[in-house]
Amino acid sequence: MAVAIIVAASLNDSVAVRSAVAAIIAGTPLVLAAVGEVHAERSGVMNLGVEGMMLIGALLGIVGTIAGGSPWIGLAAATAGGAALAAIFAVLSVSLRVNQVVTGLALVIVGTGLSSYLGKVPDPALTDRGAVQSFDLIFHGGLAKLPLIGPLLFGQDPVVYISWLIVGASSYYLYRTRAGLAVRAVGEDPATADAAGIRVSLVRYVHVIIGGALAGMGGGYLSIAITGIWQDQITAGAGWIAFALVSFSGWRPWRVLLAAYVFGALSSLNFTLQALGIKIPSDLLSMLPYIMTIVVLIIVSATSSASRALQAPAALSTPYIRESR
């Protein structure tokens, strides 16, 4: 018995378990933002502006936590900020049918400029403040000390569990409900969906805004729980990785969850490898998610008939014009 406890305790201290925990934490902003983007892209709208929405979320996460005195208020502010930016994108891309690539890039630029500007407005500037209060763990003591599953399943902060719920709910919604079927129909063939009585513009508005809300929440989690502070461009490209994850995962929520942890593991792998005495240049490790995404994308497009289920929605990034039906 005593031996078992010692083995268990050392297992939880092992490099593997610690890296897995680190991967889950690093992957959670990616999970949230990427699942949000799945909603938008499943409805046929490609929002390249994830990085911009995450940055606004990250800023408001810190502002909300300081002003409201609770990380939950910060997370709510972050979610609202991401949704607001996405609403602007929705007006342009859905109602005004503007090119989504250009508008998405504009959203990144606006989000970057606005968040960096606003971070310097308060006195003292947000960049000069200490770490904010983060989320309390839910499970204390016993459960979290269980071997292996303890730290992984019971050692997380509540937002991690929320992200699992969101992934499950998104998967169920998109693939098991009539409303989700309508969303996918709009993304595949908006003209037919329109003829079947589905309100194409409304569906796209709602899902672009859901996407922005989740990207904002991801940014908020990143600043509140991971860095604890605000700095210019604190997301450091997490938004782009989240965007890549969506196509890497074949536009499927559950795959997004797994892939986000893989990408999260890659970003924390550096420390793991160092702990094990293996030296791989960090720049080459940082490349991996992007290389993997391109390779998967090319393989999927090369075997289009076999893996139709993993293809992009057919009407992705095509504005819908009713007159041209």
Residues engaged in binding another protein (CB under 8 A): 46, 48, 88, 92, 96-99, 101-103, 105-114, 116-118, 120-121, 202, 232, 237, 240, 243-244, 247, 281-284, 286-287, 290-291, 293-294, 297-298, 301-302, 304, 312, 317, 323
- Nearest approach, Cβ of 321 to another protein (angstroms)? 9
Residue 20 structure tokens: 């897995």
Nearer to another protein, 20 or 107 (CB): 107
3-state percent breakdown (helix, strand, coil) of the chain, nearest 5: 75, 0, 25
- Nearest approach, Cβ of 121 to another protein (angstroms)? 5
Rounded to whole angstroms, how far apart are CA atoms 117 and 261?
32
Nearer to another protein, 53 or 225 (CB): 53
Please state the separation of Cα 127 from the chain's center in Å.
24
Q: Are 111 and 50 in contact (CB under 8 A)?
A: no
- Nearest approach, Cβ of 298 to another protein (angstroms)? 5
Nearest-CA neighbor of 226 among 29, 3, 68? 29
Nearer to another protein, 86 or 166 (CB): 86
Cis omega before residue 158 (within 30°)? no
Rounded to whole angstroms, how far apart are CA atoms 146 and 243?
35
- Nearest approach, Cβ of 1 to another protein (angstroms)? 49
Rounded to whole angstroms, how far apart are CA atoms 114 and 116?
6
In the three-class reduction of DSSP (H, G, I as helix; E, B as strand; rest coil), residue 100 is classed as helix
Nearer to another protein, 120 or 145 (CB): 120
Nearer to another protein, 70 or 317 (CB): 317
- Nearest approach, Cβ of 13 to another protein (angstroms)? 30
- Nearest approach, Cβ of 291 to another protein (angstroms)? 6
Nearer to another protein, 96 or 165 (CB): 96
- Nearest approach, Cβ of 241 to another protein (angstroms)? 9
φ, ψ at 24 (rounded to 5°) = -65, -45
Residue 302 structure tokens: 């090369």
Nearer to another protein, 96 or 195 (CB): 96
Nearest-CA neighbor of 248 among 308, 286, 289? 289
Q: Are 222 and 33 in contact (CB under 8 A)?
A: no
Residue 298 structure tokens: 């090319």
